[in-house]
Each structure stands twice: as structure tokens, then as C-alpha cells.
Chains A and B, each alone.
Chain A
Amino acid sequence: MDDHGQKLSTQHLQAWFGAHLALKEVSIDIPGNRVTAIIGPSGCGKSTLIRCMNRMHETIPSARAAGAVLLDGRSIYQQDPVQLRRQVGMIFQKPNPFPTMSIIDNVTAGLRLNGLRDRRRLEEIAAQCLQKAALWEEVKDKLRYPGAGLSGGQQQRLCIARALAVNPEVLLMDEPCSALDPISTSKIEELIHELRAHYTIVLVTHNMQQAARASDQTAFMYMGRLVECGETRQVFTTPKAQQTEDYITGRFG
């Protein structure tokens, strides 16, 4: 469980949108069972980087990528993207539960895609995942109600539960709190802290306090490049690059 070897890594990763090069030779190592924060000004390529890690990047028509992304040492480009995305789950900036589905159906959507039909089993897993996502107490009496009726923060935790249900190893979170109020934000941060024991988490955030609080390792990106990556404490106290220092001291961005 407490394995901090490289779970995921990119090597000389480049990503384009049409002719626009959004990631420039990014090489980063993501250790297992830890939280890696990715910070940087808006538009620097944070989302693009993590969307390459579960091959969501290539679902955009004009987008393409080059270089290597390794999951447990294996190139993800040699794997079936559909299978890969079950191992590498994703939480989006804006909570996106399925509005026509009930809470429980939202959680089990991925499992049902996999062909699991056994109602008892589905309910069991849904309960577990809602507990892991710290949402169970709030929704256990209204599992059959639509997920869209929940508050923004609850919806985001519902999305986390939905991602956990397919039993991923890695969770990619793209600014999961940016649409939420401070209380929901701190709930999600707590949750990230707990999930860290069982999952490898990559947390994109433009909130530096959040990165400092919630992560073990921090990467700073700027204009499509990875400027610096290291222990969170080190990056925030003694950054190696001038750009990092400028950014965390608020001199730009």
C-alpha cells in the first residue's frame, strides 16, 4: 500500500491543439499513493497534461500528442483507451453528474457500463463509494432522487464516488474545487487526504494554498513547460526556479 514508486510518468510529452503546441516536452514522475499538485497560471497546460494521462486529450478532434506516458511502466498508448480510463479516473472542474439519473445510478453508471447487473452488488458498491466520497450520510435517504438536485459540492463528491466505483488506481482531478464554496472545498480537500492512502492522485489547482495544504509533491507549469517539480514543502519554501518563486510569491499569474 505504502508504495511510493513511480505510478505514472510522462516522457518528453508534447500535445497539440491543431497547430498550437500546448505541452512542450513535459517529463514528470507521479509517485504512487501520494498527491501530486500541478499549479501554474491559467492556460499553461495543466488540464492538457492530465488529460493526456487518461487519453481524454485525443477525444478532441484536432488534438494530438507525442512522447510517452507510462502507467506502471507500460505505455498507455499501447493500451485500449476504454480500459485505461477505468484504471485512471477523472474528476472535472465543473461537477458533471448525469442529470437524468438518480444518485445511485450516477454512482453505478461506470459499473453498469462494464456489464454488472446484480442489483444487490451495485447497491453495495454504491454505498461503499458514497462513504469513501464522504457523501453517504447526506444522501443515504434519497438515493433514488436525481443527482442534479444536490448542491454543487455534493455533486462534485457524487462525481468522485462515480469515479471511485470503477475501482481506478489513479485519480486525475482538474481543479475540482474551483466551482465550489469554501466549505465544500475544505470537504473535498479532506477527502483527497483520505483517498491518498489508496489512490494515486494528481490534483490540478490554481489555488496555491490548496496545493500547499493537500499535496505531497508539487509541479509548477508555465507556458506549456514543466518548470519545476519537487516535494511540496521544498517548492513553496525554496523554489529552484526564479519563475516558480515569482509565481508563488504572487508576482504574476
Chain B
Amino acid sequence: MSADRILKWVTASFAMIVVVLLCGIGIMLLVKSWPAIHTFTWHFPLTRLWDPVQGAFGALPFIYGTVVSSLLALMMALPLGLGIAIFLVELCPDRLKGTIAFLVELLAAIPSVIYGLWGIFFLVPWLRETIEPWCIEHLGVVPLFEGPPYGIGMCAAGLVLAIMILPIIASISRDVLETVPNDQREAALALGATRWEMIRTAVLPYGRSGLFGACFLGLGRALGETMAVTMVIGNRPEISTSLFHPAATMASVVANEFTEATGELYLSALFGIGLVLLSITFLVNLGARWLVLSIGRLPQGT
């Protein structure tokens, strides 16, 4: 009797640690960012100027940088990840499935800093010397492709992030597609659908909420990603329409500047940015969870 009770209480207290940690982190962020919140109020996330020397702390460039780099990454990783998932579930011969799925998952195991190194020493020079000059020359009229080719910047950050969230999107989409019952596929095929039409009319719609969930989880990962982004984004608190311009994200500014943050307000502003980041990622992950779970609630043909 007592052994089981002890087991129960010990494990329950472990679970409690998680709750305490979560609350602790939230409260710590709130307390530490209080001076900034008190000084700037709701102007803080809406102010464009970030100039620590003059005591101007606006979080907007970082919010912008985080959102744009993450959406950019999602735009690239989603079609690719979904394509991989479709290939794995619908088309891939059985004996290749395991290998490819394993390789995709290996991509997720690469440490962030390695992506950063790869980004700096391969991706950035390639962008600077090949891709960006070409885009500027041929598409330069579009504001997205204006300005000098720095290499580092929003575009590089988006690309690195895209590769980093690809495995999560691919593997969750694959799990989602695997939950689609075979009778849905057969229903479409029996109506004279080609394989692609079957995927489009039966498989993807059936899994749509789970696929949205995969997007959100990828987005959640991209929003908070720090190391690799800090290494390639250029860390400039500026908002530019050009994808080739250096920028900064919430995560990158905190990682970059906390050692040099002299003065209470400066540090507090960084904590404030941390608070914003935590709130956004929390909401996105919550949304993702809800969407992924909701696939189980889909009405079934009985």
C-alpha cells in the first residue's frame, strides 16, 4: 500500500515541478520587465526606434523580424514538408519509406549552431554572390528585392529557419496523412480520380486541421529559434521591406544584447521582449495543439 502511495506522490511532485517552473518563468519575466512596461506602457511593442544609447526602447523591429522571418520560413517549408509527407504516405515504395523518414528526422537532430555555421559559411556567401545580385538585377523594381546584397539578412534567416522547421512539418504532416482512412482514398479512386486528384479531394481535406496544426507547430519552432537566426540575420533593429536587408528578431536581440545591457531599463526592455516572445509562442503552440488534436474529433462515416 505505502509503496504505491509513495510512488504516486513522488511522481506527482515531479509533475508539479513543471507547473512551478512554467509559472516561475512567467512571473520572473513579468517582474523583470516591469520597469519597461511601466515606462513605455503599450507603446513598447508599437515603437519602431530601438536605440539603447539614447534610452529609446521599442520592440516593433524585433516583432516584425520574428514574424516575417518565421512566415517566410513557413512559406518555404510548408510546400516542401507537405510534399515530403505526401510522397512518404501515398507514393513511396515501402522499402524506401523508413530510410527517407529517418533522414528527415535526422535533419531535426542537427544542433542549431551547426545550421548557423552552415548559414554563415555557405548560405550567406551564396546568397550574396549569386542569388541576391540576380534578384536585384531582374526583380529589383519589387521592394522585396531592393538594396545591396548583404547576404546576411531576413532572406538568409528565413531560409535557415525553413530548413530547421522542415522536419517537424514533414513528420507531423506524415502522421496526419497516415491517419486518413484507406476507405477515403478508395472512395476517390473508385470515382475515377487520379492519384493526385485522390490526394487533393480526399486525403488533404480529411487531414486539413491536422495539417494546419503542423504549420502552427513549425511556426512555433521558427518564432523562438535563436542561435542560427542570430548568426545569419545581421542583427540590425530596422524594418525594411527588402528581404535582403539585415534585421533582428526578438530571440536574436535578447541573445545578442543581454551581456551588454547596462542600466535597469535596457535589461528590463530585453525582458519585455522575452515576455512578448513567450506569449506569442505560447499562443501559437496552443493553437497547434488544438488543431492537431481536433483531427481525432472529425466526424467518421459510421
In which size bucket is the chain A interface? Answer: 35 or more
Q: Are B201 and A98 in contact (CB under 8 A)?
A: yes
B-contacting residues, A69-117, CB 8 Å: 82-86, 89-90, 92, 94-101, 109-110, 112-114
Q: Are A94 and B301 in contact (CB under 8 A)?
A: yes
- Chain A residues near B299 (CB, 8 Å)? 99, 146, 148-149
Q: Are B192 and A86 in contact (CB under 8 A)?
A: yes
Bitwise, B186-203 to A at CB < 8 A (1) or not (0) is 111111111001000110
* Smallest Cβ-Cβ distance to B298: which chain A residue: A99
B261 CB, nearest partner CB in chain A, Å: 51
CB of A56 closer than 8 Å to a CB of B: yes
Query: Which of B194, B202, B205, B302 has a CB less than 8 Å from the CB of A152?
Result: B302
Query: Which of B93, B183, B193, B298 has a CB less than 8 Å from the CB of A96?
Result: B183
Report the Cα distance A92→B188, complex, angstroms. Answer: 12
Query: Which of A99, A112, A113 has a CB less than 8 Å from the CB of B301?
Result: A99
Q: Are A113 and B187 in contact (CB under 8 A)?
A: no
Query: Which of A85, A98, A100 has a CB less than 8 Å from the CB of B192?
Result: A85
Query: Which of A90, A98, A112 has a CB less than 8 Å from the CB of B190?
Result: A90
- Chain A residues near B181 (CB, 8 Å)? 96
Query: Which of B93, B184, B194, B302 has a CB less than 8 Å from the CB of A98?
Result: B184
* Smallest Cβ-Cβ distance to B208: which chain A residue: A100
Residues of B within 8 A of A (CB): 93-94, 181, 183-184, 186-194, 197, 201-202, 205-206, 208, 298-302
Q: List 25 A-B contacts (CB under 8 A).
A: A54-B190, A59-B189, A82-B194, A85-B190, A86-B191, A89-B190, A94-B301, A95-B301, A96-B183, A96-B301, A98-B202, A98-B206, A99-B298, A99-B299, A100-B206, A109-B188, A110-B191, A110-B193, A113-B197, A148-B300, A155-B301, A155-B302, A166-B191, A166-B192, A179-B302
Residues of A within 8 A of B (CB): 54, 56, 59, 61, 82-86, 89-90, 92, 94-101, 109-110, 112-114, 146, 148-149, 152, 155, 159, 162-163, 166, 179
List 7 other contacts, CB 8 Å, given A95-B301, A109-B191.
A85-B191, A86-B191, A89-B191, A96-B181, A99-B298, A110-B192, A113-B197
